[in-house]
Copies of this chain bind each other. A is one copy, B any other.
Amino acid sequence: MTRKKICVVVGSRANYSSIKSAMRAIQEHPALELQLIVTASAVLDRYGSVVKLIEKDGFKPHARVTMLIEGESPSTMAKSTGLGLLELPTLFEQLAPDVVLTVGDRFETMATTLAAAYMNIPVAHTMGGEVSGTIDESIRHAVTKFAHIHFPASPGARDRIIKLGELPQHVHMVGCPRIDLVAEILDESTGKISDQLFDMGVGERFSVEEPFILVSQHPVTTEYGSGEAQITATLEAVRELGLAAIVLWPNADAGADDISRGIRKWRERKLDDRMHFFKNLPIEVYVNLMRSTACLVGNSSSGLREGAYIGTPVVNVGTRQNMRDRGDNVIEVSYDRKDIARAIARQVEHGRYPMNPLYGNGTAGKQIADVLARETVSVQKCITY
């Protein structure tokens, strides 16, 4: 029997975490064959060479495609998408996949989706139907309008996909595959964080036994130019409370330079804070930090998704996660320093929340593989109203 060929295109570290359990399930499924293309920030040293991690995990990329144009501005985001669209068709012709599986809502997802859909290859899409703000919002729904099989991560997302005119029989609420990894990590690890952590990154060292804050704040593409002020307010709030903190550098979206500049300037002020800065953290470490931290501050989607499952106290700053489904563990605040500080204080006092399966129960990857193995679709899509 010929196995159905499923091609996954991975474009970033976050992307990989969001699809890894599905990749593994596809690779192990007797009726499926996994094909892999790695691209965008996932092939760059500067973002931690995710492609090497992928290979270490036992996956074999068919091709590595550099496609990010320097500048990290709105216009280079458009041009980078164009580069992806120029290269992926040749690779899809080499691979002739039966289905292309794409993740989420980053701009490289749009390139993957358009290349496949224009070439009459059915598209399967994870994490559609969510509401978030930023250009990701439009990208996500546009990808839904090209996709043939949908794997939303939450009930609200599923309902939205159907309202967008997609056929209900092709919409499968499987939860988020990132939760699969989180469940696995929580199972396998003691939760202890070694102080060796601080051999990586730069900045102060402190004991992770004491309460510490975790900061993860990314640019909001539609608020281009405000990133520096935004991250500075957050760092000031943390400092004001006198708590130690682990601070992550931003992802590669337009505006990342603003956030990075804010962090660099903060560091050059050489305040007597107790902060340690990391470019990237292994997912295992990150999940354990989410389990240990007194509070996660910023605008990372992990606070809402993984946070629900882990029970992490979260202070979500600004508009980036607007309207994404969230549990009780999240407090919303504006970009105001005082608001942020007050909310952190409340969360530190509250402590960890009970587990909430809002974004999945740890079996998403397996469910995705099973659906891909059994479901056939017509390439010709049609809106249902």
How many angstroms between the C-alpha atoms of A90 and B87 in the bound complex? 8
Q: Are A66 and B77 in contact (CB under 8 A)?
A: no
A229 interface residue (CB < 8 Å to B): no
Inter-subunit contact A382/B63 (CB<8 Å): no
- Give the chain B neighbours of A27 by CB distance below 8 A: none
Task: Determine if A69 and B67 form an interchain contact, defined as CB atoms under 8 angstroms apart.
Answer: yes
- Determine the distance from Cα of A254 to Cα of B43 in the docked complex, in whole angstroms: 15
For A119, give its contact among B75, B138, B142, B143 (CB under 8 Å): B75
Q: Which residues of B contact A385 (CB under 8 A)?
A: 160, 163
> Cβ of A63 and Cβ of B93 under 8 Å apart?
yes
- Is there contact, CB below 8 Å, between A221 and B142? no
Q: Are the C-beta atoms of A141 and B145 separated by less than 8 Å?
A: yes
Q: Are B90 and A222 in contact (CB under 8 A)?
A: no
Q: Is A383 an interface residue (CB 8 A)?
A: yes
Q: Is residue A306 contacting chain B, with contact meaning CB distance below 8 A?
A: no
Docked complex Cα distance between A90 and B93 (Å): 14
Residues of chain B within 8 A (CB-CB) of A89 are: 75-76, 78-79
Q: For A63, give its contact among B70, B74, B94, B135 (CB under 8 Å).
A: B94
Nearest chain B CB to A298 CB, angstrom units: 19
Partner among B67, B78, B114, B383 whose Cβ is within 8 Å of the Cβ of A160 = B383
CB distance from A245 to the nearest CB of B (A): 21
Q: In the complex, which of the residues B66, B68, B138, B380 contacts A319, with contact meaning CB atoms closer than 8 Å?
A: B380
Q: Contact string, A200-229, partner B, CB cutoff 8 A, digits 1/0?
A: 001000000000000000000110100000
Does A133 touch B at the CB level, under 8 Å? yes
State whether the Cβ of A171 lies closer than 8 Å to any Cβ in chain B.
no
Closest Cβ neighbor of A74 among chain B residues: B119
Residues of B within 8 A of A70 (CB): 44, 46, 66, 68-70
Verify if A45 is at the interface (C-beta below 8 Å from B): yes
**Is A164 at the interface (CB under 8 A from chain B)?**
yes
Find out whether the CB atom of A117 lies under 8 angstroms from the CB atom of B138.
Answer: yes
Cβ–Cβ < 8 Å partners of A383 in chain B: 131, 137, 141, 160
Contact surface of A with B, Cβ cutoff 8 Å: 43-46, 62-71, 73-79, 81-94, 107, 110-111, 114-115, 117-120, 131, 133-135, 137-138, 141-146, 160, 163-165, 202, 221-222, 224, 254, 257, 268, 319, 322-323, 379-383, 385
Can you list 23 A-B pairs, Cβ within 8 angstroms, ordered by A? Answer: A46-B70, A46-B257, A64-B90, A66-B69, A66-B79, A68-B70, A69-B69, A75-B92, A75-B115, A78-B115, A79-B85, A79-B86, A81-B85, A82-B111, A120-B135, A120-B224, A131-B382, A133-B380, A137-B380, A137-B381, A137-B382, A163-B163, A163-B165
